[in-house]
Amino acid sequence: MAAHLSYGRVNLNVLREAARKELREFLDRCAGSKEHEVEKMFTLKPGSLPPADVKNIIFFVRPKLEIMDIIAGNVKSEVKQRSHRDFHILFVPRRSLLCEQRLEEQGVLGSFINIDQYILDLIPYDGDLLSMESESAFRECYLENDQTSLYHAAKGLMTLQALYGTIPQIYGKGECARHVANMMLRMKREFAGSQNQILPVFDTLLLLDRNVDLLTPLATQLTYEGLIDEIYGITNGYAKLPPEKFIQKKQGEGGKDLPTEPKKLQLNSAEELYAEIRDKNFNAVGAVLSKKAKIISAAFEERHNAKTVGEIKQFVSQLPHMQAARSSLANHTSIAELIKDITKFATYLNYGLSRIVASEAFFDNLTVEQEFMTGVDTDKVNTYIEDCIAQKDPLIKILRLVCMQSVCNNGLKQKVLDYYKREILQTYGYEHILTLNNLEKAGLLKLQTNARNNYPTIRKTLKLWMDDVNEQNPNDISYVYSGYAPLSVRLAQILVRPGWRSIEEVLKMLPGPHFEERQQLPSGLHKKRENRTTLIFFLGGVTYAEIAALRFLSQVEEGGTEYIIASTKLINGTSWIKSLMDKLEAPPF
């Protein structure tokens, strides 16, 4: 089922199985029978429940107050219809007093036979990737000072340690990282009873606050997977793509029914081809695809050479795998074309103006981003941003650019900042004043104080910008942004070699404390291994490009460190900024 979770050095299927077992146990308690036949699954909606011939209804929800109101509505309408169903609630990942209080206020708490929690903090997404899928984590931590998600992160790390052994070394940078590490050490003391006797799988844990590196998510990701996410968005491992490029070209079929439903594709390393190209710079994907196409058609040509029965049999036995490879290739060729339409001004003369404008916009946008990242004119109002506002480009695009300029200039001058803010409010509406306020609170927009702009120092010391980037055969992580090396990943890289002591000065410029902790291992569990495994936990979200950069580091032989990546959420600049926005809407006049 989930073989791709066990490919890596750390078998994440162990975690998945542990989580499955727990879910089955809850279902046992609800149904009272050994067979957990789930009849139907519904998305939670206000109003009454859809009809189904079932006795047990299980609400499988996050502990959020809004959701409680919907559930209360569902239950009340059931009661009105005098149904004799049994209700259960399973909170993920933890029960919440406030939610239960809310249900009580709504008068439905008593209707539930089981109220329980399903402790699923970290969800395995791929062989080396875990996510808490807590989209509001960054907002809660940095805007609302609500550290619930950090508590869950610490708990999730404890679960990981119970399954994969105590992690002997913990490094961290940032306030949230410090908080999580403190909680972990405390929890370890709390559960000292069960001395963990498992040989540690992870050598090091690196906790990183997202606000240590606010720049990276703002930049447009330029890996294949990153671009799919930037343009179409990847949710829960799936991308929804425009259907027109996925029409099956079958011979003899004249029907030209254009599908209207978006094409939904699952994207993970279970798919061989995707695993190969996902982390490449988009400019290197085309070559791989055409090489693959040649190999596959050559393989199909083999059938003409098959003469004997044995050979034919051999050929037929490989057919399913070949067909899967062919359809995978077709899918990714289509996706690559879609992306190319948008990203490349070249080659697409025939598609009409809108696409050209789109691709030009993409290119111009990228140019400005790169200027900011290299420190060009970051202290003045940028004409491109001005033009984009004047043409009322999507607000999030503007916010991403303005925030990026602010981050790359260690804050903007009062005049520049006020100008942008005023332009945004005048163009997109005064209601965004709270959003701007949030961005300032999170440090994404800030006023430059008297202090010197330290971004150039950071950029130079950490080599965040590489001029001689090789997109085809990368030799440095900067290939993921075609020049910009993500700060977060640089920190991870330097930690391994030569160590953080070499960059003390820069670490002090970045927000929050940096620290190192050691966890005692029971005697006999110390291992001496050449290849080290590091768990890197992004508190506040991680982008696909950062993941790609870390995978690149895992593969570099001299490094010898393999990374397993965990995060509160998989993000990109757009989804991240969106999570920080406050939407105010007035009732109709």
Q: Counting contacts by CB under 8 A, is residue 515 touching other proteins?
A: no
Q: What is the DSSP letter of 533?
A: E
Q: DSSP per residue over 324-347, as a string?
A: HHHHHHHHHHHHHHHHHHHH-STT
Contact pick of 47, 110, 498, 587 for other proteins (by CB under 8 A): 587
The site map against other proteins for 324-363 (x = CB under 8 A) is ---------------------xxx-xx--x----------
Q: Which is nearer to other proteins, 51 or 587 (CB)?
A: 587
Site for other proteins contains 47 (CB under 8 A) = no
Using CB under 8 A as the binding rule, whether residue 524 contacts other proteins is answered as no
Rounded CA-CA distance 566/62 in Å is: 20
380 lies in the site for other proteins, by CB under 8 A? no
Which of helix, strand or coil describes residue 535? strand
Q: Which is nearer to other proteins, 193 or 254 (CB)?
A: 193
Residue type, 314: Q
C-alpha distances (whole Å) from 237 to each of 270, 336, 420 are: 12, 18, 36
Residues 431 to 460 in contact with other proteins, rule: CB under 8 A: 431, 433-434, 437
Residue 520 lies near other proteins (rule: CB under 8 A): no
Phi, psi of 9 (to 5 degrees): -70, -30
Q: Which stretch binds other proteins (CB under 8 A): 183-191, 493-501, 538-546, 549-557?
A: 183-191
Measured distance CA(350)–CA(356) in Å, rounded = 9
The answer to whether the beta carbons of residues 228 and 335 sit under 8 Å apart is yes
Q: Which is nearer to other proteins, 44 or 434 (CB)?
A: 434
Shortest CB 538 distance to other proteins, Å: 19
Using CB under 8 A as the criterion, what x/- string covers residues 55-84 for binding other proteins?
----------x-------------------
Interface of this chain with other proteins, residues 389 to 428, rule: CB under 8 A? 389-392, 418, 421-423, 425-428
CB 485 within 8 A of CB 463: yes
* Helix spans in 32-174 (H): 65-80, 97-105, 137-142, 148-164
Give the β-pairing of 561-567 and 532-539: parallel
Q: Does 584 bind other proteins (CB under 8 A)?
A: yes
Is 297 or 426 the residue whose CB approaches other proteins more closely? 426
Task: Report how far apart, in Å, the C-alpha atoms of 446 and of each of 382, 413, 458, 493 are.
Answer: 16, 9, 18, 28
| Residue 17 vs 146, nearer CB to other proteins | 146
Contact region for other proteins (CB under 8 A) — 91-99, 247-255, 402-410, 512-520? 91-99
Does position 170 interact with other proteins (CB under 8 A)? The reply is: no
190 exposure class (CB count in 10 Å sphere: 0-12, 13-18, 19+) = exposed
Q: Which is nearer to other proteins, 196 or 223 (CB)?
A: 196
| Maximum alpha-carbon separation in the chain | 82
List the one residue from 154, 177, 227, 458 that touches other proteins (CB under 8 A): 154
> Does residue 168 have a cis peptide bond before it, meaning omega lies within 30 degrees of 0?
no
316 binds other proteins (CB under 8 A): no
**In the set 96, 106, 159, 454, which binds other proteins (CB under 8 A)?**
96
| Identity of the residue, 121 or 126, whose beta carbon is nearer to other proteins in the bound complex | 121
In the structure encoding, which two tokens stand for residue 276, read together? Answer: 């190969």
Q: Which two tokens stand for residue 14?
A: 């162990």
- Within 112-151, the residues that bind other proteins by CB under 8 A are 144-148, 150-151
- Count of C-beta atoms within a 10 Å radius of residue 43: 5
- Can you list the alpha helix ranges (DSSP code H) found in 409-520? 414-428, 433-441, 455-461, 487-496, 504-509
| Binding interface with other proteins (CB under 8 A) | 65, 94-98, 101, 144-148, 150-151, 154, 179, 182-183, 186, 189-190, 192-195, 345-347, 349-350, 353, 386-387, 389-392, 418, 421-423, 425-431, 433-434, 437, 584-589
